[in-house]
Amino acid sequence: METEIKQFMEYLSQEKKASKNTQVSYRRDLEQMAEYLRSQGIMETEKVTRTVLNSYILYLERQGRASTTISRMLASVKAFFHYEFRQGKIKRDPAETLKTPRVEKKAPTILTVDEVTSLLNQPGGGSPKEVRDKAMLELLYATGIRVSELIGLRLEDVNLPVGFIVCKDEHKERTVPFGKTTRQALSQYLEQARPALLKGEGSPWLFVNCSGGSMSRQGFWKIIKYYGEKAGIRADITPHTLRHSFAAHLLGGGADIHAVQTMLGHSDMATTQAYTAYVQREDPVRTAYKTAHPRQ
């Protein structure tokens, strides 16, 4: 089965042009499936049946895997066997009618504006690390980009005078603006902190770690957790929390939903519309008072 998985991975890379992260995820999922099948004495794809795959699902559940994890793993399995069937390597697709576990969507954590302000104010020192952390947090909230996009930014992707960044992947790119506060934080980082962290070395990446290398997802995860605790925020903060908060705060402030969709890079409007459920609506009586009262 190793040969079939290898050929499928080549198909994902060369024909589907899947991202590196997608390829890593698929390979890991399929290798785990193959390991289970070997333990059941199954070495060839044509011997895999729907019953065998259902047993694999039960095995994953007994291991305590989350429904979201099992659903993702089964998506990889389905794609693999669909490919095998289309290539004529198996006579029947055993994964075609598999039912994935029902996944209950967890409501995203949305910080209040005050909580975000407190979080962004935590790295207030002048050390290279704190100046860098400040710039990263400000840029993440100012643009709503994904953490993978944040750590993947290159110097050439930032237009500081005009105030925008360019996010790219294999298929498309989008331009996202940022404001004066973020521009100031980035300027200080680029002029003072980044050269100090690089210690005379060069790097194409916008944000670098304390050793001058590229920033990792895990490294930034630790940064945002640290400052969240320091700010006294009880909510479970992840790098995606600022993306969620960015969207909800923009929509709450009256931003056009199509513009927010473009900035977030959502291909489906429904994904962006989901944030409207978390927009805090102001009391209409209070709004009328603040708008009309002469002493406001």
Tokens encoding 55: 């047993």
Q: What is the pLDDT of residue 296?
A: 42
Q: Tokens 């005050």, residue?
A: 114
CA nearest neighbour of 178 among 246, 261, 238: 246
Q: What is the pLDDT of residue 274?
A: 75
Low-confidence stretches of the chain (pLDDT beneath 50): 281-283, 286, 289, 296
Q: What is the pLDDT of residue 282?
A: 46
Q: What is the pLDDT of residue 137?
A: 95
Q: Rg for the chain (alpha carbons), in Å?
A: 24
Q: Phi then psi for 15, rounded to 5 degrees?
A: -100, -45
Segment (H or E) for 165: strand 164-168
CA nearest neighbour of 244 among 116, 150, 114, 102: 116
**DSSP secondary structure letter of residue 68:** H
Distance CA 150, CA 220 (A): 10
Q: What is the pLDDT of residue 36?
A: 93
Instruction: Encode burial over 71-97: b for 16+ CB neighbours within 10 A, e otherwise.
Output: ebbbebbbbbbebbbeeeebeebbbee
How many helices and strands (H and E) does the chain possess? 14, 3
pLDDT for 103-120, tens place per residue? 566 677 888 899 999 999
DSSP notation for 144-160: ---HHHHHT-BGGGEET
CB-CB contact of 53 with 95 (8 Å) = yes
Q: What is the pTM of this model?
A: 0.64
Tokens encoding 150: 């944040």
